[in-house]
Chain A
Amino acid sequence: MSQLFIILATSLAVLLIAYLTAISARDLIRLLISLELMFGAVFLAILPLFSLQASTAFAIVVLTIFTSSSELLVLITAIVLLDRSKRGIELEKVAVGGETL
């Protein structure tokens, strides 16, 4: 069993568990946590690139960490705003433009 297999299989498992968490979520907090798990799977998937182009891989990791962090911070703000306007963070309350769920 090679290290590359362990890393890729772990990345895939974390990604699939994050998908399961996302589709079973009933509120936006759980959805946010599943998104962070997906980014964790991305970090693991980038790891083999360090054996080929370490500097490029490091640049990709830095970009991924900062863009995902800013995306998650804005999502947290959106959750707080949704709670203010809809008085709840359940997924059933997320409806845009008259869409009904």
Chain B
Amino acid sequence: MDTGTLIIAAASVFTILSAIGVLLTRDNLYAALYMSVTMLLIAAIYAAYNIQQVVVFIAFVFVGAVGMITIAIAATYRYIPAKKISVGWIIPVIIVFAITSYFYYGFATFNLKTQELSLGFEKLSTEYMVLLVFLFSLIVIMMLSAIKLARRVEL
């Protein structure tokens, strides 16, 4: 196992551990914090493959914007629910994970070599700009619709 694979394996282990933290913690605030750490570790896996464009998107858009709003709303509604995880659900999850991982181990036997990633930001200014403008417009329209709904509820 080479150094790159070791780094990815370590980041993957910490990703799974922080995701388990989301499952096991009783406080919504800590669950949101664990979720943000999980997303940042997923971005770290992308960084290990030198896919910096996706790292920027995940860190700034998904964690920086949506994750921070989730943390803020979790701190507002810091409700501590009773534990309801039953062993009856954990057993089929472990079985599904074992069977799927067995086939992954048999068929997914090669390392990843990423392609043409240095061209990402150059293409961003030309090919993806229309797409990004369209997606920003989509978010603005959806938030305007949400504000309209909120005003209707207040009335």
Mark A residues whose CB is within 8 Å of B: 1-10, 12-14, 16-21, 23-27, 29-30, 32-34, 36-37, 39-40, 43-44, 47-48, 50-55, 58-59, 61-63, 65-70, 72-74, 76-81, 83-85, 89-90
Contacts and interface: CB of A to CB of B under 8 A. Distances in A.
Nearest to A72: B66
Contact of B77 (A10, A16, A65, A83): A83
Given A50-B49, A51-B113, A40 B131 contact: no
Contacts of B4: 3
Please give me the 4 A-B residue pairs with the lowest Cβ-Cβ distance, nearest first: A26-B81, A66-B135, A77-B146, A4-B108
Interface residues of B, number: 82
Interface of B: 1, 4-5, 8-9, 12, 15-16, 19-20, 22-23, 28, 31-32, 35, 38-39, 42, 45-46, 49, 51, 53-54, 57-58, 61-62, 65-67, 69-70, 73-74, 77, 79, 81-85, 89-90, 93, 96-97, 100-101, 104-105, 108-117, 119-120, 123, 127-128, 131-132, 135-136, 138-139, 142-143, 145-147, 149-150, 153-154
A54 to B, nearest CB: 4
Given A1-B5, A6-B8, A55-B123, A48 B112 contact: yes
Given A1-B5, A1-B105, A40-B35, 14 more contacts: A2-B108, A3-B111, A4-B109, A9-B100, A9-B104, A14-B19, A16-B93, A18-B22, A19-B93, A72-B66, A76-B70, A76-B73, A77-B150, A78-B146
A37 B22 contact: yes
B89 A23 contact: yes
